[in-house]
Amino acid sequence: MFAIERIKIIKNYLLKEHKVSVAKLSELLNVTEVTIRRDLEKLEKEGFLERTHGGAILKECKEEEPVEEYADIYKTQRQEIAETVFHLVSDNDMIMITEGLTNVYIAKKLARKNNLTVLTNDMRVAMEFVGSPVNNLILLGGDLKEYAVYGQLTENNMQYFSVNHLFVEVDAISKQSGIMVSSISKASLIQKAIRSAETVSVVCLADYFGEKSLYRVGSVDIADKIITNSALDDSYKDYLFSLNIQVYTSVDIYEE
């Protein structure tokens, strides 16, 4: 049992710091350097790391991660949220996913479903479904801004569809100002999309609650569900519950 715990901690440490010394680990874990060397050897065989003189470095990931301009500090939180959404969507559902980085993680997860019909305005979301022919993807048309399309063309395009479940990612939620995003075209698109959806799920990182963004989508109660991560402030849980909104905090700690 104990070795498993140790190896988990070593792995976490390396994933964060990319390199580590034997002495550092021995001090951190309160075991002898011999034990640490044995653990590192084991991890090297697994292909997780490469041993160096007096320590180890993380092996570059074999899967080519998309190159991001900056390191995303919310990667874990976004993955946790995606895991929750995976359990809110059933095979055969018709859903819409709007633009957003968390929504891209959600798309990556949902690509493992069966016979979904996915409507989106975000090309990154669309790309996640490229290798998944069992699901149907419909990409809306319109004026491209960075990764997604917006504008009159997109909104006209959208009126042909009606979905079971809409996932919108937003930039801020507050008690005073409701749900907010960072561009007028995004606010307008979301407002239109809400009209043709049965269930509306609003995706927002916990750190963005109580923040401000310029363009208002609407009051908080346009959401049926709010999906966020476990750092959500208690006062918001109270508040959202009193508005009869289902609050998902995507807790991820239990180990199978």
Interacting residue ranges for other proteins, rule: CB under 8 A: 1-2, 4-6, 9, 28-31, 83-84, 87-88, 90, 225, 230-232, 234-235, 237-238, 241-256
Residue with smaller CB distance to other proteins, 48 or 86:
86
Residue with smaller CB distance to other proteins, 151 or 178:
178
Residue with smaller CB distance to other proteins, 62 or 244:
244
CB of 108 to other proteins, least distance (A): 17
* C-alpha span between 79 and 61 (Å, rounded): 17
CB of 201 to other proteins, least distance (A): 11
Residue pair 241/219 in contact (Cβ under 8 Å)? The answer is: no
CB of 88 to other proteins, least distance (A): 6
CB of 135 to other proteins, least distance (A): 18
Q: Which of 98, 105, 103, 93 is nearest to 120 (CA)?
A: 98
Residue with smaller CB distance to other proteins, 150 or 209:
209
CB of 167 to other proteins, least distance (A): 14
Residue with smaller CB distance to other proteins, 25 or 217:
25
